[in-house]
Amino acid sequence: MQRSRRLIILILLIAASTAAGFYASHFFSGHNEKERVASANPATAHPRRPDFRLPDLDGNLQSIDNWNNQVIMVNFWATWCPPCRREMPAFIRLYNDYKDRGFVILGIAIDDPQSVQDFIDPMDVSYPVLLGEEAGIDISTAYGNRLGALPFTVIIDREGRIITTRSRELSYEQAEALITPLL
């Protein structure tokens, strides 16, 4: 019961943060501070990605190191997040179009395992989905998500450097433009 109450409070906090992040991203013309800094000073703008291990849907621990030497798009999402739900079909298509070129999407669900399984099964998600739950929030923060906004997407190059982050819904074309220069 304590765990359920804590998870509900956490979900409510994330929902509020998502709304604040969505408003902020639109208010600031779709560019967050990290994006402006990255374009202004490319020499210092690409930190090394933090390592993490999370369970997959079968309960097996997976490390981000499993995808070394690939272009990685890490997408933090939740089943109750409308923009997350809307962008997922585009991400499935993107993954299928570029997976043979050394590209992978890691979906990190900030949600309980059953809700995630029930959501992704009918969508036929083809890329790896990891169960972040509460640990996913800490990982998201380590990757630059100061506001706790969802969706939050991180692009990592083949050398393991964070190239850019986005704290808003992405279309197929927007995500494709971020990854193709790295392939």
Tens of pLDDT, residue by residue over 60-77, are 999 999 999 999 999 999
For residue 166, which phi and psi values (nearest 5 degrees)?
A: -135, 130
Annotated domain spans of the chain: 2-182
Give the whole-number percent of the chain exceeding pLDDT 90: 72
Quote the distance between the C-alpha of residue 174 and its chain's center: 14
CB–CB of 107/75 below 8 Å? yes
3-state secondary structure 77-135: ECCCCHHHHHHHHHHHHHHHHHHHHCEEEEEEECCCHHHHHHHHHHHCCCCCEEECHHH
What is the pLDDT averaged over residues 119-148? Answer: 94
59 vs 19, higher pLDDT: 59
CATH code of the domain made up of 2-182: 3.40.30.10
| This model's pTM is above 0.75 | yes
Quote the distance between the C-alpha of residue 87 and its chain's center: 11
Separation between Cα atoms, residue 48 and residue 156, nearest integer Å: 9
For tokens 């971020």, name the residue. Answer: 178
Separation between Cα atoms, residue 180 and residue 183, nearest integer Å: 5
